[in-house]
Structure 1
Amino acid sequence: MLENTLPQLEQLIEQILEKNNTLKNQVAELEQQKASLMEENESLQLEVMESEEKQKQASSSLESLLGKLQSAQEAS
């Protein structure tokens, strides 16, 4: 019985070690993906902030132009 058990244990240990290596590789890949996604997220957040700022500036310009137009209309 011991003669059969030892090779089975060795085989199971080898399988576990292989699975562990596979999982380590998957973790490394997921960490790289996470880092990439975090960078992309930061970039998108900056783009949104810049877009909001441009939108505010455009809105201010339009309000100013509208005010000037209303003043010119009232004057005439």
Structure 2
Amino acid sequence: MLENTLPQLEQLIEDIIKKNNQLKSQVAELEQQKSALIDENEILQLEALDGEEKQKQTNTVLTSLLGKLQSVEDSAEVN
């Protein structure tokens, strides 16, 4: 019985070591993907903030132009 058990145990240990190495490789790959996604997320957040800032600036310019147009229109009605 011991003659059969020992080779089986050795094979199981080899299989476990192999599986452990595969899992370590997968973990490393997932860590790289996570890091890339974190970087991409930060870039997208910065782009969104930049877009919001540009939208605010555009809104300010349009509001100013609308105010100027309104004042020209008001002065034309007075005359």
Work out whether the TM-score is over 0.5: yes
| Alignment partners' CA distance in 1, 2:62 and 2:39 | 34
Q: Percent identity?
A: 68
Aligned-residue Cα RMSD (Å) equals: 0.2
Q: What are the ranges of 5 or more consecutive residues in structure 2 without an aligned counterpart?
A: none
How far, CA to CA, are the matches of 2:40 and 2:74 in structure 1? Answer: 50
Query: What is residue 62 of structure 1 aligned with on the other side?
Result: 62
Aligned residues: 76
In structure 1, the gaps of 5 or more residues are: none
Amino acid at match of 2:31: E
Tell me what 2:44 maps to: 44
Letter in 1 for 2:25: N
TM-score (norm 2): 0.96
TM-score of the superposed pair, with normalisation by structure 1: 0.99
Moved over 3 A (4+): none
* Displacement of 1:65: 0.2
C-alpha distance in 1 between matches for 2:48 and 2:74: 38
Residue identity matched to 1:71: S
